Amino acid sequence: MFGHHNRRRFLKAAGTAGAVLGLDAFSVLSGLPPVGASEVKLDPKRVVLDAGIEPLVQIIEETPRDRIIEEIAGRVHKGLSYRELLTALFLAGVRNIRPRPNVGFKFHAVLVVHSAHLASLAAPDAERWLPLFWSLDSFKSAQATNDKESGWRLGPVDEAKVPSPRKARQAFIEAMDNWDEPAADVAAAGLARSAGANEAFELFCRYGARDFRDIGHKAIYVANAWRTLECIGWQHAEPVLRSLAYALLRHEGDSPAKRDAEADQPGRRNRSLAAKLRPDWQDGKSSTEATTDLLTVLREGNSEAATDRVVKLLEGGAAVQSIWDALFAGATELVLRQAGIVSLHAVTSTNALRHAFEMSGDDETRRWLILQNAAFLTMFRATMGQRGSVKENQIDQLAAVPLTSSGAEAVGEIFRDVGKNPAVAAGKVLAFREAKGDPAALMDAARLLIFFKGNDAHDYKFSSAVLEDYRRLSPAWRDRYLAASAYLLKGAGASDTGLVKRTQAALKS
């Protein structure tokens, strides 16, 4: 959460960092009404939006890309709220972007909405609009690609086949287990109409994590869909759940229900392992040795070796936190070994699986999600090997690199190396923290640079995941985690996105 203290800190840091990072004045959105913290937080006592959102969705759908920024800026001046724009943008993506043939590529325009919202949460009031304006442009680009490829739209549900409230849950389970798309579509609609958000999440998070296809995007979509619905309201769930069910059933070849595909094997095996874990599996003690032990297996072993080691460590009394330390560290260590699209998704999928772990109220599902995360990291590593050389860099071997400055100037020094010499930047992050430098200053600068220089959905997805998960690691590991992320953050030397200048121009008109 970002209270008044943190927003004031960010605003102060933005001004300072803007100078040391060579950025233009940060308050580029001063022409828009500021977005108060209450507008980006969910108020459970308030009916957030209703069917009246449809006209705004149509405006977003129908306005050409070269006019969307100006059109929405004008409507914000006339009273359009942050929450209304967030809602309409997400629903426009769900209705117009097909999550096939891969749950990624153009569909990042949908996946990134919550990451952009997280960036907005961290910003001072006046600047909270910028990530959403970036997402608007991203949606229009993806919409054009979708129209060129297929012209797909999420059509109306077959009302005659929507199961009754009493039968919706079982109908959904059977459809998903059988990889039956038509049946899953109507069952998802039935769930949205009859089940609560928590009950539906328990089902969807299991299917989002059951198979290693699309390098983690299925689990990412589940997490980001629910987190966005928490902001915009459950009354908008039906099209989201239908899109999500369609995405989760993406596969290659014959139905996975009829074969034992490699992508499905860990999920099936881990069901059995999860069921056998001791009932008091969460009562262990913190153990650095357990973390480093699991890290070793993640570097060298296959999915079975990794999950067997997790079971052994938990049965031996290691704390769940020690396991998560290894999973987070192992994910970002892959970035050190091959900074690219696969390792980036190892980080963002771990973020999604940890969110599912925290949200689930089912003990066995929580055990299974930890095992799936361990298995997936070995599969990410194997996938990296298919894309080029994989270095032997290890996160616990990172060494500090001396800084030549201190305070805000040190932050600028670090981010001038990011993108140019990430290994040096990572070492300087460690040096900064060893000198008791405030990690919030690094995070604020990272967010600021994404605002100005982020030109891809992955910039928002990766930075939002890393900056959120930093506090989830134990103190002994979190600074190394942040240091390794320097390989994929935006540096001060990157080019500014043209969208910032375009937004500025729109707001001055």
Please compute, for residue 483, the number of CA atoms within 13 A of its CA located in the half-sphere on the CB side: 27
3-state DSSP assignment of residue 390? coil
Q: Hey, how many other C-beta atoms are within 10 angstroms of the C-beta on 509?
A: 8
Burial class (CB in 10 A: 0-12, 13-18, 19+), 4: exposed
Summarised one tens digit per residue, pLDDT across range 230-277 is 999 999 999 999 999 999 999 999 999 999 999 999 999 999 999 999
Q: Are 31 and 461 in contact (CB under 8 A)?
A: no
Q: Per-residue confidence at 12, pLDDT binned at 50, 70, 90?
A: low
Q: Per-residue confidence at 404, pLDDT binned at 50, 70, 90?
A: very high
Summarised one tens digit per residue, pLDDT across range 361-384 is 999 999 999 999 999 999 999 999
- Mean confidence (pLDDT) of the chain: 90
Q: pTM of the prediction?
A: 0.91
Q: Hey, how many other C-beta atoms are within 10 angstroms of the C-beta on 160?
A: 6
pLDDT at 49: 34
Whether the ω angle into residue 165 lies within 30 degrees of 0, i.e. cis, is no
Question: Looking at the DSSP assignment, which residues form a beta bridge with residue 285?
Answer: 318
Summarised one tens digit per residue, pLDDT across range 126-149 is 678 888 999 999 999 999 999 999
The full DSSP string for 85-120 is HHHHHHHHHHHH----SSSSGGGHHHHHHHHHHHHH
Which tokens in the block code for residue 454?
A: 């982020």
Residue 411 amino acid letter: V
Q: Does residue 14 have a pLDDT over 90?
A: no
Going by C-alpha positions, the residue among 258, 284, 262, 148 that lies closest to residue 213 is 262
Mean pLDDT of the region 339-343: 96
